Structure 1
């Protein structure tokens, strides 16, 4: 599994003061099927009021549902605003792989690419003659490997 931090910097000059607005995304970007994707987007030193923060997957806005959770918090200091958002997707599948973008008030955006590998077995577990056949095949393979490997 790998982790990434990605960031973008935008400079503002207002009334002789310099501000460096910044957005970054942290989190695991290489997951196995069945894992939980957790990404954190942080926007710092924002100059405009926060009208919205959106998470997108492959340029389509994500909405919370039974697997997707989105939480946003904002903190206002003297002249700047900091915002943080957590995106969580439980029980990821290969269809959850793609480009995830954090977009703040149509001004700033940053993205990371998420990969999901592997398969989650959701079919029935072999029983009866199917299980015996599977067991006999595994035993035969083991014997073959020991004597001829």
Structure 2
């Protein structure tokens, strides 16, 4: 497999996001929680298959915790690449963080800070979070924080390489 660029990663994230949005639109109504989890699994399997040599299946993401954590962690990092320049990852994480113990006003304010283009990313990220917590009892907030760190490292590495090439 060729070297993957951040633009490639952004495309993988966009593809998963669009898959999720199209499936939600096809449903024609607000999905129930179990339906939203299945929509998220299908979108994650689709997006996760784009940057792997093996095909990712939604059933495997549903049943295999370690595999789900690996694939979804990578996919969230790719989603941050897709959102780059539109919404700051930290704002996305704040909007979808564990709602337990948070006041409704705090959650509402966090969503408002996403701006005009951020809520679509946050809706998908919230569905991924719900999937991780519901199916795998995973530390979604910790996983997402790791995905944010990976995104920042990948962005910095590419920026550095471009700058080093300019100076050469």
Query: TM-score range with shorter-chain normalisation?
Result: under 0.3
TM-score if structure 2 supplies the norm length?
A: 0.20
The structure showing larger relative contact order (alpha-carbon pairs under 8 Å, at least 6 residues apart) is 2
From the CA coordinates, give the structure whose radius of gyration is larger: 1
TM-score if structure 1 supplies the norm length?
A: 0.22
Q: Which has the higher strand share?
A: 1
